[in-house]
Amino acid sequence: MTGQELLFAAKLEVGFAEVGKLSADLCNEENIQVLSGEASAILEHAVATFGSPLKALDWLRSPCGALGHRVPLELLRDRKFELVDEELFRIDYGA
């Protein structure tokens, strides 16, 4: 799932108008490039973990205590894919 596909799925889920405020920071060129590259498997993992594209977007944009209060999207931008994927596995297994 690319970044654009994730945004589109979230738009379908809650309506196009609602997603604008949730995804504004995902729509810049730098983020779309990251989210449509190596991170696509992690995006799919996030959607599977949280059960919807909208919930995955919300998690990707929010500071995560288990990641040192860093924002998963920023870690993806910095190419720290493993950290984000490992945290998703911890969430999956309740660890």
d(Cα 82, Cα 42) in Å, to the nearest integer? Answer: 9
* Angle CA 71–75–80, to nearest 5: 150
Averaged pLDDT, 43-67: 89
Using the predicted structure, report yes or no on whether residue 49 has a pLDDT greater than 90: yes
Q: According to the model, what pLDDT value does residue 4 have? A: 62
Return the percentage of the chain with pLDDT > 70, whole number: 60
- Residue 70: DSSP 8-state: B
Give the separation between CA 30 and CA 12, rounded to whole angstroms. 23
pLDDT higher than threshold 70 for residue 8: no
Q: Hunting for tokens 């911890």 — which residue is that?
A: 90
What pLDDT is recorded for position 26?
A: 54
Query: Over the stretch 11-48, which tens digit does the pLDDT of each residue have?
Result: 555 444 444 544 555 555 555 555 556 677 888 899 89
Answer yes or no: pTM beyond 0.85.
no
